[in-house]
Copies of this chain bind each other. A is one copy, B any other.
Amino acid sequence: MYRSHNCGELRSSHIGQEVTLSGWVQIGRDLGGLTFVDLRDRYGITQIVFNMDDNAELCDQARKLGREFVIRVKGTVNERSNKNAQRPTGNIEIIASSLEILNASKVPPFIVEEETDGGDDIRMQYRYLDIRRPNVQQNLIFRSQLAIATRKYLSDLGFIEVETPVLIKSTPEGARDFVVPSRMNPGEFYALPQSPQTFKQILMVAGMDKYFQIVKCFRDEDLRADRQPEFTQIDCEMSFVTQEDILNTFEGLTRSVFKDLKQIDLGKFPRMSYDEAMQRYGSDKPDLRFDMEFIDISDRVKGYDFKVFDESEYTVAIVAKGAADKYSNKDIKKLTEWMQRPQVGAKGLVNIKYLANDEVKSSIGKFYSDDVLNEWKTDVFTAAQGDLVLILTGEKEKTQKQMNVLRLEMADRLGLIKEGDFKPLWVVDFPLLEWDEESERFHAMHHPFTSPKQEDMDRMLTGDHETMKSLRADAYDLVINGSEIGGGSIRIHDRELQSRNFDLLGFTKEEAEDQFGFLMGAFEYGAPPHGGLAFGFDRLCAVMNGQSSIRDFIAFPKNSSGRDVMINSPSLIDDQQLVELNIALDLKDKD
């Protein structure tokens, strides 16, 4: 027997008991006659005492233990004279009567504690040491608990978890697929799913009614910050439902897991149309933990001989409360440069400072008198003394994006975000299609299976090009604290409408048939109305814990080159494997 108890469970009530514990040596302290060892496992830390007077040999052994040694200790639970209130086991200690080293350890390359000196790379290489750190361990435990709570909630509602296949078919739509050569079908490839979308719709046609799955998905994309080639979704689909049914169901799920795991009542989620979100926040995933709404001043600023504004499509302002006096001209210059970085791409940044001493200072003071600016202060900006107004101007869509970046940055700088605050939001009524100027084609705003709203169906089937831009979909995103947790839509369940959508998206009849013929075929055999949604599971974990990186909630994440540095993967494979798979390397054009 390796242990009678774990390292987190002994209390005063155990005093006097003989126990056996196993775990890792967190730290040893040698105080002359006494040697103390903090023994750690997933459940906690228990102090072990070796007494020179009682057993010199044993105490000697204990002195030689290194960090991260794995040991088994027998002893008696004793009341601690010097209690540690910070630790659940802090009232007791174990007076050791025997000690066995189960496995030694080399000196770890970084400190295995919450605060570590290990950089990202070395922690990933020694991920097995990194995960021993209690904060990382707690993240993984949280993830497991969230999965359990999610499954319980959905299965209590009658959802069935169905595993959809991982080896499926490549469809050049959307992001890049990872592909898998088929040995048994030479020259052919499977693809790993970017999502189980078509399979969950097939399950609805199959009458499964309420489906869910917590499922791995794959995208071979260049890894931007916080993207992983494999990620996990809570994937759901329902039959005979309207958008309202779906929003209610998954609002219920979200509230339930926040209540269960964070003891937070999120209340009823507000809803906002896509158009309104863009207008008020320049983003389809606005962070509602703070205000600083967009103020569209496009018309108001025209007619003062300031050509930049006069000729601009869109001029927008935000009010940074109380920031006027904090921001020197030098600060403003730095902020302007920050906004001018290629990642953001603003041309300039206009400011109006309503200083505490009632003065007005502005980078456009040449064109707009103090009187005008003071009039705007209350009339347009609802600003107060001490507020800083920041203004961007230009092409509408670009400027909205830039102002969204600035809004988030200013909230961060001004400390407007309260830790532990959670602001959910449903964004609804997304456009069905978006026109891409560059490729001169429509893209599906959500995906090619999303249905237009009931009232837009006829217009979609018969309308002209311009009409297509105005179609709205029963598509929705759940946003929490400015992070997109997930989204979904009511789907097309009619062959003709689906076929029309593929046409609009630039598929030839042959391409549509080749890639999605099975789904359109299924729609001819009694497909029910259906819809669904997927939540990013990694993202939900991170957001619920107020953390920004999903990597912290993935046991074995890959780095930005898609590598697992612990196992050193990907790697070369045998020539024999290539031959069997009927493929050859083709690196000739690469240097």
Which residues in A have some Cβ–Cβ distance to B below 8 Å? 1-3, 6, 22, 24, 40-43, 68-70, 102-106, 108, 126-132, 137, 140-141, 143-144, 147-148, 151, 155, 160-170, 172, 176-192, 198-199, 202-203, 205-209, 216, 218, 220, 222-223, 229-230, 232, 240-242, 493-494, 518, 522-529, 554-556, 558, 561-564, 566-574, 577-587, 590
Contacts and interface: CB of A to CB of B under 8 A. Distances in A.
Contacts of A198: 567
A102 B529 contact: yes
A162 B555 contact: yes
Contact of A169 (B160, B189, B568, B579): B568
Nearest to A170: B573
Contact of A181 (B141, B179, B209, B563): B179
Contacts of A582: 585-587, 590
B528 A22 contact: yes
A564 B165 contact: yes
A181 B222 CA distance: 15
State the number of copies, please. Answer: 2
A167 B206 contact: no
Nearest to A178: B180
A556 B590 CA distance: 39
A571 B170 contact: yes
Contacts of A162: 140, 143-144, 555
22 contacts: A2-B529, A6-B209, A43-B209, A68-B525, A131-B203, A137-B206, A140-B208, A143-B163, A144-B155, A144-B160, A168-B567, A169-B568, A169-B569, A180-B570, A184-B223, A185-B562, A187-B572, A189-B570, A189-B573, A190-B569, A202-B566, A584-B585
B524 A555 contact: no
Nearest to A529: B102
Given A163-B555, A184-B561, A105 B525 contact: yes
A524 B126 CA distance: 11
Given A167-B558, A167-B569, A103 B207 contact: no
Say what secondary structure dominates the interface of chain A: loop
A230 B165 contact: yes
Contacts of A70: 526-529
In the A-B complex, the 8 residue pairs with the closest CB atoms: A131-B206, A105-B526, A2-B240, A169-B569, A188-B570, A68-B526, A182-B570, A584-B586
Contacts of A183: 176, 220
Contacts of A568: 169, 518
B24 A526 contact: yes
A166 B580 contact: no
A525 B126 contact: yes
A167 B229 contact: yes
Contacts of A128: 202-203, 205-206, 522, 525
A29 to B, nearest CB: 19
A240 B3 CA distance: 7
A392 to B, nearest CB: 35
A536 to B, nearest CB: 14
Contact of A524 (B106, B185, B220, B229): B106
Given A206-B128, A207-B132, A169 B525 contact: no
Given A167-B230, A526-B70, A567-B168, A189 B584 contact: no
A208 B137 contact: yes
Nearest to A1: B242
A381 to B, nearest CB: 45
A564 B570 CA distance: 27
